[in-house]
Amino acid sequence: MIKNADLSNCTSSKEINICDINPAPVFKISHDGTILHYNETAKSLIGNNSDSLNIRSIFPVMTKEFLQQLSKEKVAQFEIEHNARVYLFTFKYSSADIIFYGSDITERAQLQAKYDSEVALYKAMLNTIPAMMYVKDIDLKYLIANKSFCDAVGQSLESLIGKTDYDIFPIGKADLIRKDDIESIENNKTVQKNEEYFKDAHNTERWVSTTKVPLHDSQGLVS
C-alpha cells in the first residue's frame, strides 16, 4: 500500500527539513510498507517524478518478510543496485516507523570490485606456480600462500591466514624460519638458503632452497 507524501505524518518539521535537504535518498515507511515521507533524491532514485512511489519497484527485496526481519535487526545496512549506481542504506526501526538513510557508494563499490578482481587474478597466478610461495606481515603472520605451500603444510588458505610458523611447524623448525625472517626484515635484504630439510604434512622428506625478500610499502618501509 502506497500513499502520497504527507508532511503531517512526519514527527516534526525539523525531521522533514533534514530529510528534504539531504542530498542522499531518505524516506520513512510504516510497518506495513506505506511510504510516509521521502525526499526528492529518493523519488529520483527510480526516475519517477510522480507524487507516489511503488516500494516494490524501488526495492524488490523489501517483501513483507523482509520488513518483519527489520523488527529483529533494529539497525542494519544493505546495498541496492539501480541504474548502474550502488546505494548503501542504513535503516532504523522504531515502534512507530522505519527510516531509511541512503548514500551513493558507486565509486567505492567499483574500486572494491576492481580490487577483488585483481586479488583473484593474483591468487590464480600464485596457484599455477609449483614452487611454494607465501607472504607474511611485519609480525610474521601469514597473509597469503599458494596452493603448493598450503598442501605441503596441510592447511587451507583460510586456516593459514593469521597463523605464525609456531602454529604450523615443530618449535625447532619454526625458530629457524623466524631467524631468517627477522634477518631479512631487520637488514632489509634478501636472504637465501640453498638447502633446507623439510618434512611436509604428508611425511614426505624434502630438501628445499628458500628465498626471502622483504616487501615495502609506498614509503619504502619494510611492511
Set out the domains of the chain in order of their start, with CATH numbers. Answer: 7-104 (3.30.450.20), 128-212 (3.30.450.20)
pLDDT score of 73: 67
| Residues with pLDDT less than 50, the chain | 1-14, 46-47, 49-61
pLDDT score of 9: 40
The pTM of this model reads 0.55
| CB proximity list for 49: less than 8 A, separation 6 or greater | 43
pLDDT score of 55: 44
Going through 125-222 in order, the beta strands assigned E by DSSP cover: 134-136, 142-145, 191-199, 205-212
pLDDT score of 75: 57
Query: CA 136 to CA 142: how far, in whole Å?
Result: 4
DSSP 56: H
Alpha carbon separation from 218 to 41, 112, 215 (Å, rounded): 39, 20, 10
pLDDT score of 54: 45
Tens digit of pLDDT for each residue in 135-180?
999 999 999 999 999 999 999 999 999 999 999 999 999 999 999 9
Task: Using only the alpha carbons of the chain, give its radius of gyration.
Answer: 27
